[in-house]
Amino acid sequence: RLVAPSWFGMDRYDVSTVVPAGRSDLRTRLLLQAAIDTFSLKMHREQRPTEVYVLSAAGTSKLKASSAKRSGGFKAHPGEFTGVATSLERLSSVISHELNDAEVIDETGLVGNYDFDLSWKKDDVSSLTVALRDQLGIRLKKQTRDREFLIVDEASQPHTW
């Protein structure tokens, strides 16, 4: 989560770095340093209360453990999800998209991959909530949680040629 000047989200810039072979763990740190240098950024981190959605177990899970060796993918259509060998992390991501990119946190404690079909009345959060509970045995609840934000205190817009 980022809080920055308005031009920060309107203009597009390419910032690239060279990551040494075998050091993909450095990618985020190097990109952040390149952005700091390019935009003369001064920033800090802070916790802010934020509305999120939390997935939790609603009694006994109705998910079927997948027998597939690897993920078969995920199909999402308005009002319908189908998962084959799909993790709850992936399901959380797709639910997030359905909820206008609201953060969805998986606290089900369920690990592994599952096969499932889920259907609900599209564009209806309460219908999705009921479908998750009744069809998969998962509760979806809106909560307020402290989340970390990166706050840009100062930034210089670079010159373009």
What are the pLDDT tens digits along the chain (161 aa)? Answer: 777 777 777 777 777 788 888 888 888 888 888 888 888 889 899 999 999 999 999 888 899 999 887 777 788 888 999 999 999 998 999 899 999 989 999 999 999 999 999 999 988 999 999 999 999 999 999 999 999 998 989 888 876 65
Q: Order of strands across the sheet with 114-119?
A: 64-65, 114-119, 80-86, 73-77
Which two three-digit tokens encode residue 145?
């949680």
The residues facing 52 across adjacent strands are 143
Question: What are the angstrom distances between the C-alpha of 22 and each of 6, 15, 73, 145, 158?
Answer: 36, 21, 28, 36, 31
Threshold 0.85, pTM exceeds:
no
Residue type, 114: Y
